[in-house]
Amino acid sequence: MAIRTRVTELLGVEHPIIQGGMAWTATWELVAAVSKAGGFGVIGAGHMPTDLLRDQIRAAKAATGKPFGVNLMLLTPHIDDIVDMVLAEGVHAVTTGAGNPGKYMEALKAKGIKVLPIAPSVALAKRLESIGADAIIGEGMEAGGHIGDLTTMVLTPQLVDAVDVPVIAAGGIADGRGIAAAFALGAEAVQVGTRFMCADECTIHPSVKQRLLKARDRDTVVTGYTTGHPVRVLKNKLSRQIEQLDRANLPDQIETLGAGKLAACMREGDVEYGSIMAGQCSAMVDRIMPASRIVAEMMAEAEAAMRALAGLVS
Ligand code: TUI
């Protein structure tokens, strides 16, 4: 059994599962494993230096002949260099986050690179469709990292009604029931981040994986509202410090305190004073397993959920 949609066609993949392009987290090892499993792996560029990202792209290409992509984090200061390098190296698709990729759209499309922007609102999605987005990733505020303010449940159907290109649902999807729910809302694929943090092939520090396994339903918090870039993280000493700075309305101090803290968490394993960016569905992740099993299990669950729903109709 397979689920075919416009997104599986667009990306040339077997399964409608796109792996979230998580900074300092989605490195070539995870990306290659997801793509080999029939999903779409995405390298998280974040603030990564351009040379390092080039190495990541080459390593992913060497590890798999399957399609994969790069997430462009548009707030990074050297984003122009990164886009130039991605244009030169070539990848199947880019996802974009934390801004409007309009400036780069023409050049990317001219190279045959599909552009899948992440949009947290209907207005932005419509604008992005009008300038050539190949699909829209609607990311709800259940997601980890930088978020908008709508939930996946309300954002997805509104995007589906507003644009003609396919919609990919993101935020809060960690098992096959979530895939079935997203499809019921009209999505044609899902983006999954947090669940893949506990893939064997994900190279984040083992302490972060253990923290995710322990997470309970109310363990994430959104900090940094005063900076204009709110971020969902697992609660720890750093998140409590940032909450205090939010209450004191000191956004500049939040930016200073937050600098380098995602890498400190994901690479060095500082789960107390590092930034544990992860989604609300952290509580639903209870095993570490190969990426191929995550993909296979989620697809089997999705198919079972869809059949069970069809069985309710008489
Ligand atoms: O980008 C993400 N998630 C991220 S980026 C990131 S790095 C970072 N660290 C600290 C502060 C800020 C960023 C960690 N997690 N998800 C996709 C996403 N994109 N969520 C929200 C948006 C977004 C927001 C505004 C996309 C477009 C947008 O447009 C504003 C405009 O320019 O119209």
The pTM of this model reads 0.97
Atom of ligand 1 nearest to the CA of 227: 11
Residue nearest to atom 9 of ligand 1 (CA): 146
Q: In what order do the strands lie in the sheet with 220-223?
A: 145-146, 231-234, 220-223
Share of residues in the chain with pLDDT > 90 (%):
99
The whole-number pLDDT of residue 2 equals: 85
Extract the tokens encoding 80. 């122009």
Q: Is the pLDDT of residue 1 over 80?
A: no
Confidence bin at 174 (pLDDT 50/70/90)? very high
pLDDT tens, 118-130?
A: 999 999 999 999 9
In the sheet with 93-97, reading across from the earlier edge strand, the strands are: 17-19, 189-192, 167-170, 136-139, 114-119, 93-97, 68-73, 41-44
Nearest residue (by CA) to ligand 1, atom 22, is: 98
Q: How many C-beta atoms surround the C-beta of residue 99 within 10 A?
A: 17
Q: What would the pLDDT profile of 80-131 be if each residue is shown by its tens digit?
A: 999 999 999 999 999 999 999 999 999 999 999 999 999 999 999 999 999 9
Residue with CA closest to ligand 1 atom 1? 97
Q: Which two tokens stand for residue 210?
A: 């253990």
Closest CA to 37 of 1, 60, 13, 58: 13
| Mean of all residue pLDDT scores within the chain | 97
Tell me how far apart the terminal alpha carbons of the chain are, to the nearest angstrom: 23
Cβ neighbors of 305 (< 8 A, separation 6 or more) are 176, 177, 179, 180
Q: Encode pLDDT of 2-18 as tens digits.
A: 899 999 999 999 999 99
Give the model's pLDDT for residue 60.
98
For residue range 115-172, list pLDDT tens digits in order. Answer: 999 999 999 999 999 999 999 999 999 999 999 999 999 999 999 999 999 999 999 9
- Condensed to tens digits (0 to 9), the pLDDT of residues 18-41 reads 999 999 999 999 999 999 999 999
The dihedrals phi and psi of 136, each to the nearest 5 degrees, come to -120, 130
Average pLDDT score over residue span 207-214:
98
Name residue, tokens 């694929």: 189
Q: Average of pLDDT values for 196-221?
A: 98
Q: Is 143 helix (H, G, I), strand (E, B) or coil?
A: coil
Backbone angles phi, psi at 17, to 5 degrees: -120, 120
CB contact set of 84 (below 8 Å; sequence gap of 6+):
none
Within 10 A of 59 (CB to CB), how many other CB atoms are there?
16
Residue 186 tokens read as 């009209």
Q: Which residues line ligand 1 (CB under 6 A)?
A: 23, 46, 73, 75, 97-100, 118, 120, 124, 139, 145-148, 229, 231, 277
Closest CA to 208 of 277, 280, 141: 277
Domains located in the chain, CATH noted = 6-203+287-311 (3.20.20.70), 216-277 (no CATH)
> How much is the pLDDT for 23?
98
Span from the CA of 145 to the centroid of ligand 1 (angstroms)? 8
Whole-Å CA distances, 91 to 57, 114, 257: 8, 9, 34
Q: How far is the C-alpha of 150 from the C-alpha of 223, rounded, in Å?
A: 16
Q: What is the pLDDT of residues 56-81, one digit of tens each?
A: 999 999 999 999 999 999 999 999 99
